[in-house]
Structure 1
Amino acid sequence: MSSAVALASAAAVPALSGELSAEALAYAREASAQNTRRAYRAAWQDFTGWCRETGVEPLPAAPETVGSFLAAHASTHKAASLSMRLVAIGQAHRLAGHRLDTGHPAIRETMKGIRRTHGTAPAKKDAAVADVIRDAVSVLAKRPGLRAIRDRALLLVGFAAALRRSELVALDVGDVAFVTEGMILTLRRAKTDQEGRGSEIAIPFGQSERTCPVLALRAWLETAGIETGAVLRSVTRHNSLGASRLSDRDVARVVQETVQAAGCDPATYAGHSLRSGFITEAARRGVAERHIQNQSRHKSLPVLRGYIRRGSLFVDNAAARVGL
């Protein structure tokens, strides 16, 4: 099996490659998000590697082969991860002109048994709620240098705008408009907006100068001398501005490092903790669901309500009123 098939499973249009111009083909390959293509590519490589080790054919694969692969990884991978691998395997087959019946009992019943045995609840990272953010910012305020100023802006803007990591690092100076009430961020593309229609997020001035996201971002841009291009950039070990844009992994690193310095366990936090922290904090404070959704831009209400419910577990809790 050639590596071209593995790449095809992520790129999405090999069947059209003889009919499209190079430019059209490049656009067609962008139909799937980059992170999705990367995940599918890794999943397909995982499957083909297992097939080589066990001496079975990966393409076309028998349903029993796919079921055995899923069972072999059930103790080390979560059900959601296995489901994603199943989708990637099925896509690779379709793109190569083969049909994989994912409803075949060998696959369907195996996945059902895995879900029943191991459960489907995802491992949730802690939400970086307002108290955590304030403590982290207090730690950064004691540190000299450009990096601390950048990290303060990263935490506060990511939290106040309920941004995904990819949205936060994609911000350019041209996407930020400082206005009388605070600032407006323009998101050119988001996870739920793959066609790039764009959206605007308003961030008002904070109640405290130290934790104000508007002042924090302005301070970073002015101190770093950034007038165009990426907003969040690397800082060298000599505390000078680097040229590269931060990655989504850098966001996770900053969150974990700063919450650890503030006394929290970094292993329980991730880059997504900023976004979930905003939703959780807003829910605790009784902010209406529609207003939270307006800031978080969730398309799926069940997903949003999962965060809201978790954040509201102790709000008007019945167990607090039964006299214990």
Structure 2
Amino acid sequence: MTEEPSGEDSRAAGDAPSPLPAVSDQSPASSLPAHLGKLADRAREYVDAASSANTRKAYGSDWRHFSGWCRRQGLEVFPPSPQVVGLYITACASGAATTDRKPNAVSTIERRLSALTWNYTQHGTPLDRSDRHIATVLAGIRNTHAAPPRQKEAVLPENVIAMLETLDRATLRGLRDRAMLLLGFAGGLRRSEIVGLDLHRDDTEDGRGWIEILDKGVVVTLRGKNGWGEIEIGRGSSDATCPVVALQTWLRLAKIGHGPLFRRVTGQGKDVGSDRLTDKQVARLVKRTALAAGVRADLTEGEREQKFAGHSLRAGLASSAEVDERYVQKQLRHASAEMTRRYQRRRDRFRVNLTKAAGL
């Protein structure tokens, strides 16, 4: 059982560090002049805004994991020691850092290392990740334990159409789910972006963007890692598969005039709540409809369960849009073409046959 941290160890146990030396753990907030107190509070809010809630939650958990491991080994968390961190990631890779003795995946170890780097930086004591005790050990872990990436299956247009047919057009829940699938696919949206949309700008404090419905389509304004940006989602060739028509139908019949676009439907599918859906509900929707539509029926039920999630929509657009790659890259908001190609699951396979081109 993990011990509760003492008061002296509180900063090593996952407390959110402050960006200001004057309000760090070494220098309590009470030492600040009174007129700077509000600025310090505002600075903490900006620290929170610099990363997503999920990232902060994961980093806090990883920091507590590292702090607990250090206590059990009789090691000091501060000042940062590349040698200690190298031993820690070795323990993670070997299973010695977990209660069930199960080794962490390489991706988990890399995230834990990122969490330590971030936390140490916020405490004003940067960790040198390039030090040989960390960099060389991490390279060895990657070479020894790294497995090929497990990508979610892309749902292609014919799959999406089949998935739509599994939804009830006569219920609000079915209309909402149709709009979510089509908007997510046509926009190449992440699941958190789908449920983070509001009807208008400044409708809610937790919204990640808003929409503007025009004659030729929908303009989606989103807040991403690099600031705000716009995505254009054009109207489809048929009302039955048009994301704009599906969205307008849902908004009209659900009587949504303000706030989150996609919400819970209650009361036997007749009432629409005020709270937005969670991103996990998008993943469940994609998985459920893909299975019901018989997508990848060549696989076993268990294999199909693992194949589909929210990212299947995003990968589906990248894999099926027969346009210049730069347009796909822009829609997915990727910084590099290489990242976009990772999403194009099957689009470019064997398009160029070097075997024949070489004369064989």
Q: TM-score, normalised by structure 1?
A: 0.86
Find the counterpart in structure 1 of residue 206 from structure 2. none
1:188-213 per-residue CA deviation (whole Å, 9 max, x = no partner) reads x12332xxxx3222222212322111
| 8 Å contact from structure 1 (residues 235, 242) kept in 2 | yes
Residue 8 in structure 1 maps to residue 16 in structure 2: yes
SS at match of 2:14: helix
| 8 Å contact from structure 2 (residues 12, 64) kept in 1 | no
Find the counterpart in structure 2 of residue 315 from structure 1. 351
CA distance in structure 2 between the partners assigned to 1:25 and 1:73 by the alignment: 31
Change beyond 3 A, Cα 1:135–1:53 = farther
SS at match of 1:73: helix
1:144-185 per-residue CA deviation (whole Å, 9 max, x = no partner) reads 421111111101000101112222112111232222222222
Q: CA deviation at 1:5?
A: 5.5
Pick from 246, 250, 275: which aligns with 2:281?
250
Change beyond 3 A, Cα 1:253–1:86 = same
Find the counterpart in structure 2 of residue 201 from structure 1. 231
Pick from 146, 162, 166: which aligns with 1:119?
146
User: After superposition, where does 1:12-27 map in structure 2 within 5 Å?
Assistant: 13-17=19-23, 18=32, 20-27=39-46
Change beyond 3 A, Cα 1:95–1:27 = closer
Find the counterpart in structure 1 of residue 272 from structure 2. 241
Residue 155 in structure 1 maps to residue 181 in structure 2: yes
CA distance in structure 1 between the partners assigned to 2:242 and 2:332 by the alignment: 19
1:225-284 per-residue CA deviation (whole Å, 9 max, x = no partner) reads 1111100111226212122111222211211121121124232122122111111111xx
Residue 100 in structure 1 maps to residue 118 in structure 2: no
Task: Report the AA paired with residue 59 of structure 2.
Answer: Y
Task: Report the AA paired with residue 216 of structure 1.
Answer: A
Change beyond 3 A, Cα 1:135–1:3 = farther
Report how many aligned residue pairs link the two structures. Answer: 313
Residue 301 in structure 1 maps to residue 337 in structure 2: yes
Find the counterpart in structure 2 of residue 168 from structure 1. 194
Task: Report the AA paired with residue 176 of structure 1.
Answer: I
| 8 Å contact from structure 2 (residues 19, 43) kept in 1 | no
Task: Report the AA paired with residue 197 of structure 2.
Answer: L
SS at match of 1:243: strand
CA distance in structure 2 between the partners assigned to 1:128 and 1:14 by the alignment: 47
| 8 Å contact from structure 2 (residues 156, 317) kept in 1 | yes
Unaligned residue ranges in structure 1 (runs of 5+):
none
| 8 Å contact from structure 1 (residues 259, 266) kept in 2 | no
SS at match of 2:75: coil
Task: Report the AA paired with residue 171 of structure 2.
Answer: G
| 8 Å contact from structure 2 (residues 161, 241) kept in 1 | yes
Larger Rg: 2
Q: CA deviation at 1:108?
A: 1.8
CA distance in structure 2 between the partners assigned to 1:31 and 1:55 by the alignment: 33
Q: CA deviation at 1:120?
A: 5.9
SS at match of 2:259: coil
Q: CA deviation at 1:318?
A: 4.7
Unaligned residue ranges in structure 2 (runs of 5+):
1-8, 24-31, 95-102, 201-209, 296-303
Structure with more relative contact order (C-alpha pairs < 8 Å, separation 6 or more): 1
CA distance in structure 1 between the partners assigned to 2:192 and 2:105 by the alignment: 24
Change beyond 3 A, Cα 1:320–1:259 = farther
Find the counterpart in structure 1 of residue 312 from structure 2. 273
Change beyond 3 A, Cα 1:260–1:290 = same
Identity %: 40
State the superposition RMSD in angstroms: 2.7
| 8 Å contact from structure 1 (residues 64, 107) kept in 2 | yes
SS at match of 2:239: coil
CA distance in structure 2 between the partners assigned to 1:309 and 1:322 by the alignment: 25
Q: CA deviation at 1:312?
A: 1.3
| 8 Å contact from structure 2 (residues 176, 250) kept in 1 | yes
Q: CA deviation at 1:46?
A: 2.2
